[in-house]
Amino acid sequence: MKLSNQAVGALMMALQKSLMEQSDIVPVLMEMNFQVDGASQSELVVTNPPIVSLEGVTVQTNEDEDEEPITLEEE
């Protein structure tokens, strides 16, 4: 049995979320629900992938240090 592309993406989002929030990844992984999917029933998918929010994230570019940082706001 292998991870589907969707499951790999969900794991990568969990890693990104823990890095952005500087938090432990284990609780996010423990909350994931997996389901067998695919034509041959040989792939796992995540039915509740983590949500990564960029609200309040500030992006600093190195191109021009005199520029103001870009702040991403929720629409």
Joined together, the tokens standing for residue 27 give 């609780």
**pTM score over 0.85:** no
Give the residue ranges of DSSP H helices in the chain. Answer: 5-21, 26-31
CA angle in degrees (0–180, nearest 5) for 58-18-31: 135
> What are the pLDDT tens digits along the chain (75 aa)?
899 999 999 999 999 889 888 899 999 999 999 999 877 888 999 999 988 877 777 766 666 566 666 666 654
Sign of CA dihedral 61, 64, 68, 73: negative
